[in-house]
Structure 1
């Protein structure tokens, strides 16, 4: 063995002895005010590790504390105060898989869709709504990877992790994003949702809705009820006037309140 190899081996032995000495007397050093150097910041665990729905819902509660805030904080973008008659066309981005969608992915999709619609259709020509909310809490059991970490961690003993982030539990056929706009901007809305699709895992489909805007009424039914005076606007939705009141008034044309006649 050469002199250089001997020197390297002695150096390694001395370093290991020094680590053992520090570990043995770490409480004494802590009392004297010495602290360990801060570990390097760990990167975020990829969302592909949490894509599959395996466990029960684990929402934030008094038993699950210290949950970081979701990345997405705004769920309605654009002209959200426009009346129901302003934007008759509606298009959806529908999930085609059962999976978890992280709050980071929802925020990225919202930004991509909003940016395209603002640039090509105009900021006053649409209303975007994120239809899922990240209530499910993700956990992580952190493992140390530095030198001497095998003495400090316990492996899979007590492996119930600490909150890492949040995600939305999505089913097949569930709507992720919805855009309402005028008929003239339907191509821009479809392209905006196509670009937002790349921010999500799995498969999604872009489906044109038969409904009038965000309401529950079909377009033909909405136009007919509107002409008959049986429906009134209620923000972004519409309210159907029912046959309430005295039985004597329940005849065709006379069973509705005055707002329906006007």
Structure 2
């Protein structure tokens, strides 16, 4: 009888040893890799697969973050709130219902900084170049957010807007593509070009002939093209001196504002009548 009882005890001990040392497998996030990468500021799940509901699990972390929930169970959350670096070692030890302690399981985790997605957009004049500048983390993608509805397009690499409408403001989003991607939104406005319109009236040779109805004063008048018979033009008023009767001159006015523009008008110089002498019979 004593022999049978002794054999039963030995068998029970063998079964306990088996369950103590062969019942635990550690998984972190969705990977079972012994080395993993996470982003600073993230909260990540770590779990055992399978875990035993009657066991308790002691989790320890060498640094880089804190175990925010789940201690004692087969599933935890870690707040990775330290600076980039590592690797940091996450260890879990199982104690089963019988008080048997299993071997530790570990995973090494390296922390990476979030990408810096900042960039600069500068308000621009309609039709002018307007790419983004000061892109901290290159290689990302630019897009409209929200998408405009008047046919405007954006270069996904440079953020150059084509077809931007004067008076509109556009919101541009940049998303990086690194290990820890981020997004950033800036706005940019399209400014109206100066109104360069003015009027020239055909005139009689030698008479005053300055431009009128100048919408944006302060610009410069020039011949375009430049005549070759010694004619001159007043750059402030558009007054032509030395104009040849019968000729048509093309005058260009260019504004001097931030969004400069130009306009061309033509003017004809009438010949003065050549009245014959008066005869008396």
Question: Shorter-chain-normalised TM-score: which range?
Answer: under 0.3
User: Relative CO higher for 1 or 2, CA cutoff 8 Å, sep ≥ 6?
Assistant: 1
Decide which structure has the larger Cα Rg and report it. 2
Larger strand fraction of residues: 2
Normalising by the residue count of structure 2, what TM-score does the alignment of the two structures yield?
A: 0.24
Structure number having the greater helix percentage: 1
Provide the TM-score with structure 1 as the length reference. 0.25
